[in-house]
Amino acid sequence: MKQKVFVGLSGGVDSSVTAALLKEQGYDVTGVYMKNWSKDIPGFECPWLEDYQDAKRVAAILDIPFKMYDFEKEYKHLVVDYMLDGYKNGITPNPDIMCNQEIKFKLFFEAAMKDGADLIATGHYAKVLDGKLLNALDTNKDQTYFLYRASKDSLKKTLMPIGDYHKKDVRELAKKFNLPTATKKDSQGICFVGKVGIKEFLSFELGKQKPGNILDEEGNIIGTHEGAIYYTIGQRHGLNVGGGLPYYVIGKDMKKNEVYVTTDISSKELWKNEFTLDKMYFLENIKKEDLNKLKVRTRYRAELVECRVILGEDTKASVELKESIKALTPGQSAVFYLDNQCIGGGIVI
């Protein structure tokens, strides 16, 4: 009897090809569109309906059953509110990681299993082998950074077939399968809102922010900002500070509504060779000796850096780096790798 796979069909090319490949491999495939967000923002129309219709068209061409799971209420609470709270507290959270943790590899997984699925599948650029999360063949597109908080139970029952392909080959496969998403552009902007930028989204959800002062390392006021909430460590653009050398954000005080900057690219505030993590999460039972053999990625597509991890109390850990890294940002994730396997990570504090 064929294994039943529920594929998360987002309306994009990657998940479309995922469904096509699995059908070709002999699985009993059902396409599922997850409705996570449908709210328009002034000047930006939420693309959910177009994505839903594209997903439906893909299912029709592949001749597979299609359904929609509505997670909008849970998504608002678990992902959007989490993100907004983070920005209000002066950190830079990652909604994509939270979406994978709470929605795709929890709610979707649980609903699919309840609906009779044996497995789930997603269009992520990553590989899963015996529950282990491995790097994708296309290192430029590898998405394991966003997947490190997926539940171990779900990964044991997850397929990610496009992890074995380069992006250009996925596009070619979409043409071969005659899929309507073959030439559809990859989504930009916030994961759930489409083309809208983070500044517009925060302004819409949290209202107009109070302007405040931008100060240099000596404490001199050198300009004003439109709200400290919009700025993140290492940011260079959008500071509206006069000519000369470029300024970089090195800190901010949410209570005083101040943003601190420097022109010194080698400032110790901009480069770190050690940092602390909270909410540590491991996909594997890691051996103590392996804690000295890890590499860490502190942003999506950032270079891997050799490091040493010292586990602390509760879910905390400290990380010592072999070389300094720039613009380490509180709220973002640091994700660890042992060879080509993603083994977990934590959130920078």
For residues 167 and 316, state if they share a domain. Answer: no
Residue 281 maps to a domain: yes
Assess if residue 184 is contained within a domain: no
Question: Residue 83 falls within a domain, yes or no?
Answer: yes
73 and 126 co-located in one domain: yes
With respect to residue 79, please indicate whether it lies within any of the assigned structural domains: yes
Model confidence at 78: pLDDT above 90: yes
- Write the pLDDT tens digit of every residue in 1-36: 899 999 999 999 999 999 999 999 999 999 999 999
Q: Which residues lie closer than 8 Å to 202 by C-beta, 6 or more apart?
A: 84, 87, 209, 229, 230
| Contact status, residue 87 vs residue 62, Cβ threshold 8 Å | no
What percentage of the chain has pLDDT greater than the value 90?
90
| Domain membership flag for residue 299 | yes
- pLDDT by residue (tens digit) across 154-170? 999 999 999 999 999 99
Q: What is the pLDDT of residue 243?
A: 73
Biggest CA pair distance of the chain: 72
Q: Looking at the structure, tell me whether residues 292 and 256 fall in a common domain.
A: no
- Contact assessment for residue 148 and residue 186, using Cβ atoms and an 8 Å cutoff: no
Chosen domain end from 154, 176, 198: 176
Is residue 47 helix, strand or coil? coil
The pairing of strands 341-348 and 333-338 is: antiparallel
> How far is 329 from 100, CA to CA, in rounded Å?
20
Residues 64 and 142 in one domain: yes
Q: What is the CATH number of the domain that holds 216?
A: 2.30.30.280
Task: Give yes or no: residues 44 and 156 share one domain.
Answer: yes
Q: Which residues does residue 315 pair with via DSSP β-bridges, in sequence order? A: none
Residue 188: predicted pLDDT: 67
Domain boundary among 226, 242, 262: 262
Render pLDDT for 224-260 as a digit per residue (tens, 0 to 9): 999 999 999 999 988 888 778 899 999 999 999 999 9
* Cα gap 149→172, rounded to integer Å: 31
Task: Tell me the mean pLDDT in the region 307-319.
Answer: 96
Which candidate, 152, 148, 157, places its Cα nearest to that of 294? 148
Q: Which of 176, 191, 219 is the last residue of a domain?
A: 176
Q: Is residue 99 among the annotated active site residues? A: yes
With respect to residue 104, please indicate whether it lies within any of the assigned structural domains: yes
Residues 66 and 90 reside in one and the same domain: yes
Residues 255 and 310 in one domain: no
Q: Assign residue 214 a region: left if phi > 0, alpha if psi is -120 to 50, beta otherwise?
A: beta
Give the amino acid at 180. P
pTM summary value = 0.95
Angstrom distance (rounded) from CA 4 to CA 118: 5
Kindly state whether residues 237 and 289 are assigned to the same domain.
no
Out of 46, 99, 307, 342, pick the active-site residue: 99
Residues in the chain: 349
E strand segments, 108-231 = 119-121, 127-129, 132-134, 158-159, 212-215, 221-225
**191 is a domain residue:** no
Structural domain containing residue 68: 4-176
Q: Do 10 and 134 share a domain, yes or no?
A: yes
Q: Per the domain annotation, does 199 fall within a domain?
A: no
Long-range contacts of 66-70 (CB under 8 A, 24+ apart): 66/9, 66/30, 66/31, 66/32, 66/33, 67/30, 67/31, 67/32, 67/33, 68/32, 68/33, 68/34, 68/35, 69/32, 69/33, 69/34, 69/35, 69/107, 69/108, 69/111, 70/35
Asked if residue 126 has pLDDT above 70, the reply is: yes
pLDDT reported for residue 215: 96
Same domain, 47 and 75: yes
- Catalytic annotation, pick one of 46, 191, 307, 342: 191
pLDDT at 194: 64
pLDDT band for position 305 (50/70/90)? very high
**DSSP alpha helix (H) spans, 160-235:** 167-176, 198-206
CATH of the domain at 300: 2.40.30.10
The answer on 238 and 278 residing in a single domain is no
Number of structural domains the chain divides into: 3
Quick one: 248 and 287 in the same domain? no
Kindly report the CATH number assigned to the domain that includes residue 97.
3.40.50.620
Structure tokens given for 165: 């392909």
Closest residue by Cα to residue 180 from 68, 62, 64: 62
